[in-house]
Structure 1
Amino acid sequence: MHLHRMTLQAVGPFPGRHTIDFAALSASGLFLLEGPTGSGKSTVIDALVFALYGKVASADASEDRMRSDHAAPGDDTFVDLVFETGSGIYRVLRTPRYERPKQRGTGTTTQQATIKLWRLTSPDAPDDGDLLSTRLDEAGLELAHAIGLDREQFVQTVVLPQGEFASFLRAKPEDRRRVLERVFGTEVYERLEKRLAAMRAEAGRGLDAARGEVGRAVAGFVAAARCADDDAAALREAAAGAEVDVPALTAAVEAVAGAAAAEAVAAEAVAARAAERCAVTERARDAARTTVVAVERRDTLLAERARLAARGAEHADDARRLAVAGRARLAMPAVAGVAQAETAFGEATTAVARRRAAVLAGAHADLAALVPAEAEADVQLKALADERERCTGIRARLDHALELEATLPTLRVAVADLEARVERRAAERDALVDGLAQRPHERAALRERRDALGAAAGGLAEAQVALRAVEDRRAAAALVAELEPRVGTAEAAAGVAARAASEALEHAAALRQARIAGIAAELAVELAPGAPCPVCGGTEHPHPAAPSAEAVTPEVVHAAEEACAVADEVLAAAGRVLTELRTKRDGARASADGWDLPAADAAVADARRAVEEAQAAARDRDAVDAELEAFDAGTRALEQQRAELDTVVGKDGVALAGRRKEIRDAETAIEAARESSDTVRARAALLDARVELVGAWLTEAQRLVTAEERLAERRVELAAALSEHGFDDAAAVRAAALDEAALAALDRRIREHDSALDRVERGLADDAVRAVGDVTADAARASSAEAEATHAAADEAATRAAGEAARLRDRASSAEREAAEVSRAGRALVAAREAAGPVVRMANVVAASGGDNARQLSLGTYVLARRFEDVVAAANGRLAAMSSGRYELLRSEEKERGGARKLGLALKVVDHHTERERDPATLSGGETFYFALSLALGLADVVTAEAGGTDLGTLFVDEGFGSLDGDTLDVVLAELGRLRDAGRVVGVVSHVDAMKQSIAERIEVRRAADGRSTLTVRA
């Protein structure tokens, strides 16, 4: 894997945007990442790891540190990385999750994490590629496949943890395990050991619970089976203890349950025999009871038959009376019909007589002569009918005259209203004619006013053009007034910048001259015994120059040169600003054409007044045009209204003549129709009363004829009914008749007697009554009492036997149920033992607490030892080169000092100069560094091999170089150079000044007083 380029913005202490060109830094295969402690060197590595994995390098650090606290609210935080693996060239652009101010309102909103992943055709064409994914999960899988390492492996191999190994070499024996756990990331095995221990404890609790269930099940069985004390004690003892013999316990419980079941079966047989005996006595008791009932019923029926026989004569008389009343009931309708007809005939005769008397006393007495009292009924009926028909005809001919008489007042009012309307509309027409005669003069005045306003509004366009011209000149004059003071300020600033640039140039030249004067002392600082002088080439340096207290360092000269460059940039910027302001001012002055701001304001005011006056005239002209149009429309409306009034007045005159003729015709018809009456209505009322009187008399006369005919018919019907039913006259029928209640009571009494007699005879003929023969009631009761006593004794015995059987059956059922519960609990205990066995054994092996782990090594320790052994083997090759073959590391299986048991994590240092073994704690600081570096490089080799041989083209080596002497530093750098020769690029992270002299390509990180950092790449 090779890094090409990384750009970061608003990350950690870096608020700005910085780009690191790893391709340029990698030209020599070795570059330096340097800067003061806390300036942000580790942030560069965090940005690299974040771009690839979405997390920072340290597992304990939060991604919240990615967002710079110094970033502006609108600046985005991102890392843009271009890298290359065997799978291709990739570009990943990733942003973290952070809080940013809301675009609207107050407060913050969450900016979610994002990613974009491209596959490129060239590292120099980042915008020419295929977008692979914009989803975090998909892009993560693509990156993992391309890199071949997870985050932990990447951090272990790209950022070499020689610092952790240095801690390991210096650590006390009891601390080495924790150091290696951090390096190798073996926490998963510790979690596995704890998980297995928890499972072992859980299995133990499960066994205890299963044993408790067995004990509770046995206790429940003892209570349910009501065991004897010895049996109960034996069962409880069998269920107690850690190792319960489940088969034996189950067999003992089943034996006790079987005995209880046998007792229940025997008791049920006894209960069955007792129940059968009880049933026999019950049948005998029921038979005795039946006999008593039959004897008592026989005696009751005989007494009832004697009572009915005593009422025989009375019953026969009731039957005879019922038969006569039945014949009278059939004849009664004819008797009632004659009575009703006689009543109706009398009422009709009376009504006709009253009507004749009333006619003679009323206004129509002449009717009595038309209908003589001595005339036959049919003659009277015809005379009355003829008179009603005559009067009805006359009354019908009066309807039209009545209608005319009713509408005549309305017609007269309508004629009066029509006369008034004709007069009013004629007056309106005359007024309209006078108004129309004046309108031509009024229209001429409006036309004259409109022409005058049109002439005034014609200059509006010219006035508007003049206004725009003076406004442009006024704006130019205002701009001149605004720019004049700014030009003066810019001229002053340019003068200050020119003086500052001159002073900075002179100061930098003086510093360069001073450094040249003291260069001998600067070179003398770097002289080493036996090394050639860079000036004369001599290897002896008897009198090297000493630097003075005022010696100028390269850094001071560099700072002065940078200050000079900054001053030049400020001067150039001030000149550009001054030139731009002068150009704007001169252009505005030419546009103002000599006007100052007050003169321009006065000209603008005059031009605006001219425009406003022309606009007002145009508005007034438009208003007069609208007024003229409305005036003409009003004239046309008035002429239309006059024409309509002429038409209406003519039509109303014709209608008025017609209504007057209609009134005259109605008055003539009414006069003819009323004859001698005051009004037609009065004559009509007189005729209506006569028709009503004749009609009522005719109705009553017809009713009298009908009543007489109906009376004759009813008398014929009565004679036939008397003959048919055997009665002499109507009085005999009335005497024999009974009302409905009496008739029903008599019939009910006869039927009740017959029914009772039939019931008695059928009861005496019943088989049960006949079967008792002559048995007396006392004898039957005595026999029944004896049967009751026998059955009571048998029932009591059956109840006792059934209760005992139920008790034993319940005990057997409970014992069987609880025995099944004991069996279930036993099976559960066996299953718990079988399930717990492997868990307990595995937990003991992993925790090194059982006999199966012969070496007494926990799983985590074993993995650490094996991994460490591989790392030591890989590290010895590096160590041999760095120590010129002097040192070698050996892993020891000996028990560490102060340890409770052998861990297999001890180390020995073999010094081949003396062929003796040393403790790593005796190593010097420089030796500890390159020992740790060897172990870190060995770890990188092991992890790379485990990841399938992933090619890591870039490595970072962290602090520790300050502890090396010059020779050892050269050796270590030479070893790092071999990494370069193998195709790797090594980035050395250090703040040691000597490293700057040894490594030209570097990334410089500097921190300002406010906590912000900047990054400069020198390649």
Structure 2
Amino acid sequence: MKPLKLSIQAFGPFASSEVVDFTKLGDNPLFLINGPTGAGKTSILDALCFALYGQTTGNERDGTQMRCDHADVSVLTEVSLEFALANKRFLIRRVPMQDRAKKHGDGTTTQPAEAQLRELDGSEDGRLMVSKSVGEANDEIKQLIGLGVEQFRQVMVLPQGKFRELLLADSKDREAIFSKLFATHIYKKIENSLKDKASSIEKAVGHHQSEIKGILQGAEVSSESELDQELVKLKPQLIEAEGIKSKAEDALKIAQRNKDQAIVLNMRFDELVRKETELGKKQDQAGAMDVKQTLLDLSMKAQGIFHVYTSQVSEAQKFANISQQYVLCKEALMSAKESHTKVAEQFKKAKTAAIAVDGLKAEQAELQRHERQMVELVRTRVNMKAVTETASKSKHNLDDKKTELGSLQQEFAEKEQELVEFVKKIEALIPQQQLLTVLDEKLIEREGVEQIRRSIEATLTQKLNGEEQVASQTIACEEAKRNATKTELAWHSGQAALLAEELKEDQPCPVCGSKAHPEPAKASADGELITKQQVETARELENKARDNMQAAKDALAQIVSQREVLTSRLVVAEQSLGKYAAQTIDELKQHRQSVQSGVDTLTFLKSQKETLEKRLAQIKTSQARGLELLEVLVKQQASDNEMLIQARTTAEQLEKQIPEKYRQADGLALAIQEIAKNINALAQGLIDAEHAFNDKQTVLDQAISKERTLLLQLKEQEGLATAANSAWQRTLMQSDFEDLEQFSNARLDDDRQSSLKIEVDNYRSALASLKGVVLQLQLELKEKQRADLDVIEQVLTEKLDNFRDKDNIWRELEARVKSLSSVKAKLVKALAANEVLNKQYAIFGTLNNVANGATGNKISLQRFVLSVLLDDVLIQASHRLHIMSKGRYQLVRKEDRAKGNKASGLELEVEDGDTGKPRSVATLSGGESFMAALSLALGLSDVVQSYAGGIKLEALFIDEGFGSLDQESLDAAIKVLIDLQASGRMIGIISHVTELKEQMALRVDVTSGKTGSRIAMIAA
């Protein structure tokens, strides 16, 4: 990367726009940035660094602090840099965050930071790569140049005051600087990763030790041997206790079965008695049912000829009606004739009859008293009917409740038997659940075994590759060793040849002192001499090849160790699996699925058992409530019967007080109505008799006319009635009825006929059912007797107590054996895991100690890598320092271990050629320190550039005081810089040393003023 043009505006001490056009200084110039203190020489480098990375060279100030106080508020602070990279040119512009004048109105507003990056490809504005984003610009610059800002400060811009800081830093500080420059954080990550891994394993070991101790304490034993001894002792006792418990359980089941059978037997005897009673009652009703069946049959036959009868009755009724009308008409006619003669007589009789009204009223009072008695009798009869219905309902409810209690008793027996069967089945649930837990654990362990096997297979490929790598690196190492030895021999031969060329006859050899030179060494045939640098390079290649070989061996050893650990884990895991090790994962899953299905079925049965137990409790509650209600119903029936008797007695007493002819309500009412009518008639008759004669003449005329009409109708209807009667007589003779009376008595209405049929059918169905039940029970209970439940219950209680005692003993032993077995399994697993962890710690603990510098020379992995890089830097730096110090000084790395626990490996010493001894760099004078620091910075710049992916950096800016050097040292330093310039670099020096200004024709002069600094380009 080579800067071409730097534009600065309102930045640092520069109030207006200033331009540094490096192209005016020529190709690869060595120039001076000159100016008084505070003029802004360093600000030029700050602007250069800010344009690229948004940061200044010293990083003490950020972009927001770089605005010039002399700048006008309307002028925006910004920096632009045009630079070349290979064959391409780029332009980057940056604006820091600042306050600027508002475009409209008064006051200021905040201008956010922004950056634009363009490739100047020949077009008018160039190709825009970044439009505004500061972050995107930073990423693009880093990708283009290949350096971060820290590397840039060490490689292209050597800031003021930073030289001696790097030179005098101790191992720790120099490690921090170098790790940023060479991006060796990956090695620090390796150190931390190994440290974390070792710490994690160490904690896991402690955790497992505590877990093992806790496992033993939980089992109340002090060691694994004590645990094994107790298991050996308890297992025979458990087997014996299980056998005793099994026998007691069998005896209990037999006793329980005997009790259940006895209860069922007694219930069947009770059922037989109940059904025989019901059958007797039903058979007593047989006669009445036969009569009802006969009535039903006759009713059906009468129904078949009823339409003929209704036709005959209808025609006869019409004839009778007309006949009656005719008779009445004749009578009316005769009456009308007689009315004329009787009117006077009736009037006389009406007067006489009126005298009898008082007697009729006395008779009316007597009839009204009987009417009140009749009302009371009717009320009593209604009450008696209601009481009769209530008594019948009470009896029905009582019978229903008895039936319900019988059904509950039967259901209770059935449910109790189901409960016994459920309990037997559910006993297998706990073993199945335990087996399911074991299968879950073994399935996880089996999957772990499969994972370990896959890992072992993977390490096999890694091992083969590692062995190939070791073989390859071993061959390369031997080749490098042979080449280094060959090169060193060639160098010695070359040195001998050079010395031989200086030999003269009769002059002593400076090596052996002999004056005779029979076979002086000669140069090689090609005439090329091997240099010391080539020898050192060959040895470095040998060392690198040896390191590569050792690294390959270490990697292979790690793979082998990892493979051994995995194999050990596989053996432990397979032993833990036991008999399940031979099964595949799919087989284990199928086995588990089968067991899970059984557990689900048994769990469902368990829920059904709970439901059954609830139902049994409900039945017991219902039975208790039913018995209470039965007692209430018995009392209610007795009370209803007593009320019925009282109602009948009252009715009989009332009937005796009422004459028999008035006991029918209609007859008494008619009598009362008739006597009232007579009384009214006698009174009214006297009045009517006076008007009767006048009306009779009209009545007589009407009666004569009507008599003639009815006579004609009567003859016609007589014929119709005779025909209908003949049809009916024929039908009646053909039927099963002897006469009309028998036919009429056989007829029933539809409701009565339907209810009678239902009653007969129900009776026959119930009778047949009862006969079947009684016969079945009689056959079932033949040659059987009722069981003595008290004796059976006593035997069951004894067997249950005995079983509980034996079961408790067995459960205590089983729980202890299971607990100890579980502890044993956990202990074996924990010990195996602990052994694996110890083996892992043997590997990672050692690697951690080595990588973090806890052993040997206290050099960590990162510091070791950095020491190799520092050696490369010191080779370059010593070459330049040797020139600047006129062959006196060289920079070397201190190899002695630091005192105490202080980190070491990166300390610097200077080797003094005058004394032949190394000493601390802190003992150098100011000028010597500057030369050493400059050499170190230039060497660091070369090495960082070489490690930065081959990026060629074509510029170097040095901001350091050359004033501490004498003229001779200054000339030597300038010579080194000229040599560096000759390699193709632009070199810029910031200084106000007068001698430099006189020696260097190319300058960038910076002058300061009250309104800000200005820049002037001075070219040859």
TM-score, normalisation: structure 1: 0.51
Name the SS of the counterpart of 1:854 in structure 2.
Answer: coil
SS of structure 1 residue aligned to 2:934: helix
Q: 2 CA distance for matches of 1:175 and 1:137?
A: 29
What residue number does 2:91 align with?
A: 92
Distance in 2 (CA, whole Å) between partners of 1:29 and 1:710 is 160
- What does the per-residue CA deviation read over 1:451-499, in whole Å, with 9 as the maximum and x for residues that have no partner? xxxxxxxxxxxxxxxxxxxxxxxxxxxxxxxxxxxxxxxxxxxxxxxxx
How many Å separate the matches in 2 of 1:54 and 1:25?
Answer: 26
SS of 1:209 mapped into structure 2: helix
Superposition map of 1:442-591 within 5 A: none
Cα shift at 1:986? 1.5
Shift of 1:710: 11
Shift of 1:988: 0.8
* C-alpha separation in 2, matches of 1:707 and 1:149: 142
Cα deviation 1:363-405 (Å, max 9, x = unaligned)? xxxxxxxxxxxxxxxxxxxxxxxxxxxxxxxxxxxxxxxxxxx
Query: Structure 1 residue 937: deviation in Å?
Result: 1.9
The answer to whether the 8 Å contact 2:32/2:1002 transfers is yes
Asked if the contact 2:9/2:78 (under 8 Å) is kept, the reply is yes
Distance in 2, Cα, partners of 1:261 & 1:320: 85
Measure the CA separation in 2 of the matches of 1:911 and 1:46: 37
1:166 corresponding residue in structure 2: 164
Q: CA deviation at 1:987?
A: 0.7
Match of 1:959 in 2: 960
Q: Which residue of 2 aligns with 1:780?
A: 786
Per-residue CA distance 1:841-890 (angstroms, 9 max, x = gap): 333223322xxx32223345444544443333322222232233344444
Where structure 1 has 5 or more consecutive residues not aligned to the other structure, the ranges are: 223-231, 236-248, 350-705
Aligned to 1:769: 778
CA contact 1:332–1:734 (8 Å) conserved in 2: no
Deviation of 1:165 after TM superposition, in Å, equals 3.8
Aligned mates of 2:765, 2:237 — CA distance in 1:
64
CA contact (8 A) 2:296 2:756 kept: yes
Counterpart of 1:206 in structure 2 is 204
Distance 1:344 1:45 in 2: 147
1:95–1:260 CA distance, 2 compared to 1 (3 A): farther
2:56–2:62 Cα contact (<8 Å) kept? yes
Partner of 2:34: 34
Helix, strand or coil: the match of 1:234?
coil
Task: Return the offset for 1:816.
Answer: 4.9
Shift of 1:746: 4.7
Work out whether residues 39 and 1013 of structure 1, in 8 Å CA contact, stay in contact via their aligned partners in 2. Answer: yes
| Counterpart among 223, 234, 238 of residue 222 in structure 2 | 234
SS across alignment from 2:221: helix
> d(CA) in 1 for partners of 2:1015 and 2:193?
47
CA shift digits 1:92-137 (9 cap, x unpaired): 32435746778799996775644434265xxxx6859777787989
| Letter of the structure 2 residue corresponding to residue 960 of structure 1 | G
The 8 Å contact of residues 858 and 901 in structure 2, kept in 1 or not, is answered as no
Matches within 5 A, 1:338-487: none
1: CA distance, partners of 2:807 / 2:731 = 83
CA contact (8 A) 2:269 2:786 kept: yes
| 2:363 corresponding residue in structure 1 | none
Equivalent AA in structure 2 for residue 1016 of structure 1:
A
Is 1:990 equivalent to 2:991 in the alignment?
yes
Match of 1:277 among 251, 276, 283: 251
Q: Give the aligned partner of residue 945 of structure 1.
A: 946
Q: Match of 2:18?
A: 18
Per the TM alignment, residue 989 of structure 1 is displaced from its structure 2 partner at its CA by 1.5
- Partner residue of 2:883 out of 870, 876, 881: 881
Question: Displacement of 1:748 after TM fit?
Answer: 5.4
Q: How far off its partner does 1:747 sit?
A: 4.6
SS state at 2:88 partner:
strand
Is the contact between residue 6 and residue 20 of structure 2 (CA under 8 Å) also seen in structure 1? yes
Asked if 2 retains the 8 angstrom alpha-carbon contact of 1:335 and 1:718, the reply is yes
- Partner of 1:154: helix, strand, or coil? helix
Asked if structure 1 preserves the Cα contact closer than 8 Å seen for 2:170 and 2:906, the reply is no
1:153 equivalent in alignment to 2:169: no
1:737 corresponding residue in structure 2: 747
Q: Which letter does structure 2 place at the counterpart of 1:30? A: L
Indicate the residue corresponding to 1:924 in structure 2: 925
**Conserved? CA contact 1:894–1:906, under 8 Å:** no
1:18 and 1:317 map into 2 onto residues whose CA distance is 141
- Which amino acid in 2 is paired with 1:974? K
Q: CA 1:269 to 1:76, structure 2 compared with 1: closer, same or farther past 3 Å? A: farther
Contact (CA 8 Å) 1:39, 1:1007: kept in 2 or not?
yes
- 1:574-631 C-alpha deviation (Å, 9 max, x unpaired): xxxxxxxxxxxxxxxxxxxxxxxxxxxxxxxxxxxxxxxxxxxxxxxxxxxxxxxxxx
Give the match's secondary structure for 1:92: strand
Q: Is the 8 A contact 2:159 2:960 kept in 1?
A: no
CA distance in 2, matches of 1:838, 1:846: 12
2-side partners of 1:716 and 1:815: how far apart? 113
Native 8 Å contact 2:266 2:786 kept in 1: yes
User: What is the match of residue 583 of structure 1?
Assistant: none
Cα pair 2:57 2:159 within 8 Å, conserved: no
- Measured after TM superposition, the shift of residue 755 of structure 1 is 4.7
- Measured in 2, the distance between the counterparts of 1:954 and 1:257 equals 84
Letter in 2 for 1:963: S
Supply the distance in 2 between the matched residues of 1:942 and 1:732 (Cα, whole angstroms). 144
Q: Please give the alpha-carbon distance, in whole angstroms, between the structure 1 residues aligned to 2:262 and 2:986.
A: 125
Change (3 A) 1:303 1:23: closer
- Conservation of the 8 A alpha-carbon contact between 2:40 and 2:1013: yes
**Paired amino acid for 1:842:** L
Q: How far apart, CA to CA, are the structure 2 residues paired with 1:931 and 1:131?
A: 44
Task: Give the conservation status (yes or no) of the 8 Å contact 1:88–1:119.
Answer: no
Structure 2 CA distance, aligned partners of 1:957 and 1:327? Answer: 143
Q: Distance in 2 between matches of 1:138 and 1:1005?
A: 33
Q: For residue 233 of structure 1, what is the amino acid of its counterpart?
A: V
1:246 aligns with none
Matched, 1:327 2:301: yes
Going from structure 1 to structure 2, the CA distance change for 1:234 and 1:5 (only over 3 Å counts) comes to same
Amino acid at match of 1:25: L
Give the counterpart letter for 2:878 in structure 1. Answer: N
Give the structure 1 partner of residue 846 of structure 2.
Answer: 841
Alignment partner of 2:872 out of 870, 873, 894: 870
For residues 962-981 of structure 1, the aligned pairs below 5 Å read 962-981=963-982
Aligned to 1:547: none
Per the alignment, do residues 160 and 736 of structure 1 end up closer, same or farther by CA in structure 2, a change over 3 Å counting? same
Give the paired residue count: 626
| RMSD, aligned α-carbons | 5.1
Q: Deviations over 1:516-567 (max 9, x none)?
A: xxxxxxxxxxxxxxxxxxxxxxxxxxxxxxxxxxxxxxxxxxxxxxxxxxxx
Cα deviation, residue 22, structure 1: 1.2
Question: Which secondary structure state, in structure 1, belongs to the residue aligned with residue 152 of structure 2?
Answer: helix
Residue identity opposite 1:780 in structure 2: R
Q: State the SS of the aligned residue for 1:6.
A: strand
- Runs (5+) with no aligned partner, structure 2: 324-715
Q: Aligned partners of 2:1006 and 2:316: how far apart in 1?
A: 146
Counterpart code for 2:1000: I
Percent identical residues: 28
SS in structure 1 of the partner of residue 990 of structure 2: strand
Match in the other structure for 1:44: 44
| Aligned-partner SS, 2:856 | coil
Q: Deviations over 1:909-966 (max 9, x none)?
A: 4554566665543433222222222222222233233346654332111122222334
Q: Which amino acid aligns with 1:884?
A: K
Distance change in 2, residues 1:835/1:761 (3 Å): same
Equivalent residues of 1:148, 1:948 under 8 A apart: yes
Residues 402-441 of structure 1, C-alpha deviations (whole Å, 9 max, x = no match): xxxxxxxxxxxxxxxxxxxxxxxxxxxxxxxxxxxxxxxx
